[in-house]
Each structure stands twice: as C-alpha cells, then as structure tokens.
C-alpha cells in the first residue's frame, strides 16, 4: 500500500493511504477516544489543519471524524485537547426524584473527576446494562468535590429510571469510564450559541452554567425546544435568568423550525460557535442554517435507546452534511 505521513499534534507518523486517521494516531501513541464505532458519538472529531483527507461523509467545516476519515496524502491533523479517560468505582451519594420523569443523581468518588461541559460517561450500575450519560450540574447549580451529577430522564434511560424509582435507594457501587466526546465547551471568543432539543437539557445546562461562571464577557444565546419548558427545570431557568442569560423557547421540531431559528439568529456568521444537543434527527434538521452561515458548530448527540437506533438504520447518514 502506498505510504505517506501525517503530522498529528506536531508528531510525524508514517501512514498508508486509505487507513483511518484513528489507526494512524493510535500507532503514533496518541490517545483518541473511540467510543461507538458507528459515527454516532462524535468522540473522534479532529481538525484538518492542512493537506487532504478523505472525510467519508463526516466533514464539518475543517473537522472530520478520525474513526471514519482516511488518509489521502500528507496532512496536518490536530486532536482536541481532551481529558484523559478515567475508569473509577464510586457510589451513589444522593438521589432526588424531581418529578415523575426526572431524577437528579449524585455519584461520589475518592478521586477528583475532570470533565468538560458537553462530555459524557459510561455508567454501570450493578445488574444494569451500561448507559451513556452527560455529566451535568444539579438543578440548583450546586456541585461538590469528587462528585458527578447526572440528570436521569425517563425518556432517555427508561430501564435505569425504573430501577432507581423501584429500589428507592441504590446504594451499590457504580463504575464509570470517561469523559467521552469532543463537542465540549471551548475557551473561544466567538459568540456562544447553545441549542437543546427534547430530553437533551443536561449537556446544554452544563455548558450554560460553565460559560456564565467562567466566560462572563462572552456573548451567549440559549435556545431551547419548547418541549423543555417544564416545571421540573424551573430552577435552572431561574438561575440563568438571574445571571442575565434568558432562554428562548421555540418549536424546534415543527416544519417551520429552520425559519424560526433563522429569525432568532438573523446575524449568524462564521464568527459564531454553535452547540446543538439532541437526537441525530433533531440535529440534522437544523444544521442547514449553520452550514449556510459558515458558523462553527458541534453536535452533541443524545443516546437514544438502542432499539430506536436499530429501527432507524439510515440515521447515521442523516448526519452527513448536505
């Protein structure tokens, strides 16, 4: 097979034409988390600084998914500055059932936990299948040292939700691995636009809170699907309102979603950074606007129950840019 070389994060690595960027990075000893293996998790998104790669349908502006994109010649690639994966055992330190459909869960560990808003963990409770959940903050914005907080929605993880409600207090040990995901909040200057679809508030709440606290001067826009206007999240909205970030609720699932979003963002440009959280279909339905405006955008796909994904074999192709 013809050979070439990739420069990845400043390191030159021999590469064969046609092999995936992920294989080259791993051979060069560079860590890149590959989670799903089927282009649904967005964990391996890397930036093509120069040169050419075969994106195989995964290109978003200058980025591609390294698990799918292949070597097409010399190229320079930049990996995201991500936290190291940790595999830890912890325990449930608090459970609060907020409503019939939402639980706030705290897991405590003996070591510090490091994650960025927009990232998720594999979480394994005894006797339960592994689930993927976005790290977030409590609804009152509180947090504790060595603690991970998850918002468990019945719609996202019905079996886990039912198990916790049934047992009342789950005191068993819990294993986590993570954080995964490359669509995390960066320290950029661009206007920050955060959009959440149905059952996908957790990562956007984490991002909104972190940006309010850590990036006070950055211009921010928060747009939520109208299905999220629920009493169970009122504390979140109050907290954000008090700090000057007012969510706008709009129907982002209807046939006029693009028009409505455009009306809210008439001045969208390449200097905007957009994060969209939701199902694959939800994200794909809004992306045309960002492509047209050449805004930088990141996908935060939620984890539909696997049977739903299996029922939608074409779902992954819906992610390919038009």
Cα separation of 119 and 136, whole Å? Answer: 9
Pick the binder of ligand FES from 16, 27, 37, 216 (CB under 6 A). Answer: 37
Least Cβ distance, residue 138 to ligand FES (angstroms) = 28
Interacting residues with ligand FES between 48 and 67 (CB under 6 A): 65, 67
Which 8-state DSSP code applies to residue 186?
A: -
Taking the complex as a whole, how short is the minimal distance between the CB of residue 35 and ligand FES, in angstroms? 5
Instruction: By CB under 6 A, name the one of 25, 41, 71, 250 that touches ligand FES.
Output: 41
Q: Which of 42, 54, 104, 272 binds ligand FES (CB under 6 A)?
A: 42
User: Which is closer to ligand FES, CB of 261 or CB of 277?
Assistant: 277
Q: In 3D, which of 74, 66, 72 has the Cα closest to residue 30?
A: 66
Instruction: Give least dist CB 65 to ligand FES, A.
Output: 5
56 φ, ψ (degrees, to nearest 5): 50, 45
308's CB contacts (< 8 A; 6+ apart) are none
Residue 34 interacts with ligand FES (CB under 6 A): yes or no:
yes
- Cβ within 8 Å of residue 173, ≥6 positions away: 89, 90, 91, 126
Instruction: Tell me if 316 contacts ligand FES by CB under 6 A.
Output: no
Token pair belonging to 314: 């074409």
| Residue 278 host element (H or E) | strand 272-278
Least Cβ distance, residue 201 to ligand FES (angstroms): 22
Does residue 31 bind ligand FES (CB under 6 A)? Answer: no
> Who contacts 271 (Cβ-Cβ below 8 Å, separation ≥6)?
190, 191, 295
Least gap, CB of 311 to ligand FES (angstroms): 19
Interaction between residue 35 and ligand FES (CB under 6 A): yes
Chain residues that interact with ligand FES, rule: CB under 6 A: 34-37, 39-44, 65, 67
């Amino acid at each position: 097979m013809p050979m070439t070389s990739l420069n990845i994060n400043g390191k030159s690595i021999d590469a064969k034409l046609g092999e995936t960027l992920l294989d080259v990075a791993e051979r060069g000893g560079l860590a890149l988390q590959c989670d799903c293996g089927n282009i649904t998790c967005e964990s391996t998104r890397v930036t093509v600084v120069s040169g050419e790669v075969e994106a195989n349908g995964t290109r978003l502006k200058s980025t591609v998914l390294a698990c799918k994109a292949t070597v097409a010649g010399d190229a320079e690639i930049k990996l995201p500055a991500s936290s190291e994966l940790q595999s830890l055992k912890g325990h449930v330190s608090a459970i609060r059932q907020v409503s019939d459909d939402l639980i706030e869960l705290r897991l405590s560990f003996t070591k510090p936990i490091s994650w960025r808003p927009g990232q998720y963990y594999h979480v394994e409770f005894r006797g339960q299948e592994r689930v993927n959940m976005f790290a977030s903050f409590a609804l009152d914005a509180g947090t504790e040292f060595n603690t991970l907080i998850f918002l468990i929605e019945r719609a996202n993880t019905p079996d886990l939700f039912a198990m916790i409600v049934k047992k009342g207090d789950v005191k068993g040990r819990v294993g986590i691995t993570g954080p995964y995901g490359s669509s995390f909040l960066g320290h950029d200057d661009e206007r920050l636009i955060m959009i959440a679809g149905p059952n996908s508030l957790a990562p956007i709440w984490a991002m909104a809170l972190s940006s309010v606290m850590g990036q006070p001067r950055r211009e921010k826009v928060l747009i939520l699907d109208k299905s999220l206007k629920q009493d169970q999240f009122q504390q979140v909205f109050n907290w954000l309102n008090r700090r000057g970030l007012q969510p706008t609720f709009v129907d982002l699932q209807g046939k006029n979603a693009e028009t409505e979003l455009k009306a809210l963002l008439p001045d969208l440009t390449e200097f905007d950074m957009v994060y969209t959280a939701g199902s694959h279909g939800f994200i794909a339905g809004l992306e045309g606007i960002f492509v047209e405006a050449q805004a930088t955008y990141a996908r935060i796909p939620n984890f539909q129950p696997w049977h739903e994904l299996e029922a939608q074999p074409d779902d992954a192709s819906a992610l390919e840019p038009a």
